[in-house]
């Protein structure tokens, strides 16, 4: 597919229309900036549904140097590569450490429940090789939507979870975690995540995205509040990597045409971007989503105002 066919010229600049990926249905965007390139990892909603539910077998990668011209790297990891998993190739995130790339992926185990798998590669665009066993396996359904970040002191954190936000301290090898500390449960308080409609009584639902900017830690996530039954995006901040968290506000309101949304945030070449998903491609539905992007700015104190969905993105 010609990934660049949706580029138009607007105000004398190249402009890519949303959804930015149009050849297949994609969701759960996870950007990673490496060198002068932004790599975007996504899930893949199959056209044909099984049991009228999420039908997702593989992970995809796209890359760009200017936000409008994108290279499609195709399938970079799939359930076929994970002998112990059989379904639900859900929201991933990738990170580089010491020249290797680690792709953290929720999957359904053959013996039941959700767990977090890790694929390893020498290249950002894969292919990735499974480490052979789950990294996080609590034998429950909470172990989804991993988000990974390496702090300035070298400590790596993997947050994840629905309905509870939990984390582990990753070891330097990035494929194991500090078992003495174990799996830590973040207190699900209204101060941290606002009062809301999800199972903990807070608005936090799923899809955490963890990062640090100008010394402040951010947790962006999909949230439920107000009885709409649709996810909006919200954020919380902390002065420490492990909290306590303070609720920051709504990042993006819910009307995306589908019940889920999923954030991926990054800075790239002096611009700040929020990736999200909607049902805006033709044939779009709850199980046929598509990845979009919007540029935004931080206020001087690090807070973020609610970001409106837009019809596309300017070239850098």
Interface residues with ligand FUB (CB under 6 A) are 27-28, 43, 54, 90-91, 106, 144-145, 206-207, 260, 262
Nearer to ligand FUB, 21 or 27 (CB): 27
Integer Cα distance of 230 and 257 in angstroms: 9
Nearer to ligand FUB, 164 or 173 (CB): 164
Instruction: Give the shortest CB-233-to-ligand FUB separation in angstroms.
Output: 11
Cβ 44 to ligand FUB, closest distance in Å?
10
Residue 154 CB, nearest distance to ligand FUB (Å)?
Answer: 28
Q: Is 182 exposed, middle or buried (0-12, 13-18, 19+ CB in 10 A)?
A: exposed
**Nearer to ligand FUB among residue 43 and residue 189 (C-beta):** 43
The tokens for 193 are 């995540």
> CB-wise, 40 or 144, nearer to ligand FUB?
144
Would you say 68 or 206 has its CB closer to ligand FUB?
Answer: 206
Closest CA to 157 of 88, 223, 236, 97: 97
Query: Residue 314 CB, nearest distance to ligand FUB (Å)?
Result: 27
CA dihedral sign, ordered 286, 287, 290, 294: positive
Give the shortest CB-128-to-ligand FUB separation in angstroms.
18
> Closer CB to ligand FUB, residue 237 or residue 260?
260
Name beta bridge partners: 104: 93, 118
CB of 47 to ligand FUB, least distance (A): 15
By beta-carbon proximity to ligand FUB, the closer residue of 55 and 237 is 55
Residue nearest to ligand FUB (CB): 90
CB of 170 to ligand FUB, least distance (A): 20
Which of residues 15 and 277 has its CB atom nearest to ligand FUB in the complex? 277
CB of 108 to ligand FUB, least distance (A): 11
């Amino acid at each position: 597919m010609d990934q660049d066919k949706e580029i138009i010229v607007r105000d004398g600049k190249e402009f890519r229309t949303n959804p930015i990926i149009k050849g297949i249905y994609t969701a759960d965007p996870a950007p990673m900036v490496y060198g002068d390139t932004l790599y975007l990892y996504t899930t893949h909603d199959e056209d044909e549904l099984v049991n009228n539910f999420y039908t997702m077998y593989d992970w995809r990668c796209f890359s760009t140097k200017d936000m409008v011209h994108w290279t499609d790297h195709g399938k970079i990891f799939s359930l076929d590569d994970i002998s112990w998993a059989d379904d639900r190739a859900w929201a991933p995130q990738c990170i580089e450490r010491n020249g290797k790339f680690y792709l953290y992926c929720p999957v359904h185990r053959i013996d039941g429940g959700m767990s977090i798998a890790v694929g390893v590669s020498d290249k950002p665009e894969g292919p990735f090789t499974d480490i052979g066993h789950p990294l996080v396996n609590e034998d429950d359904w909470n172990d989804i939507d991993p988000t990974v970040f390496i702090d300035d002191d070298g400590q790596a954190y993997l947050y994840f979870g629905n309905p509870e936000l939990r984390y582990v301290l990753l070891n330097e090898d990035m494929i194991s975690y500090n078992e003495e500390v174990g799996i830590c449960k973040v207190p699900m308080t209204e101060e941290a995540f606002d009062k809301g409609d999800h199972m903990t009584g807070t608005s936090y639902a799923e899809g955490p995205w963890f990062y640090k900017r100008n010394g402040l830690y951010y947790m962006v996530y999909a949230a439920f509040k107000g009885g709409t039954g649709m996810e909006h995006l919200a954020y919380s901040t902390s002065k420490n990597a492990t909290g306590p968290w303070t609720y920051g506000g709504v990042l993006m309101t819910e009307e995306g045409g589908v019940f889920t949304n999923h954030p991926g945030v990054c800075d790239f070449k002096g611009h700040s971007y929020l990736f999200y998903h909607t049902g805006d491609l033709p044939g779009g539905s709850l199980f046929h989503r598509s990845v979009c992007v919007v540029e935004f700015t931080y206020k001087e104190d690090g807070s973020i105002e609610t970001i409106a969905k837009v019809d596309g993105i300017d070239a850098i």
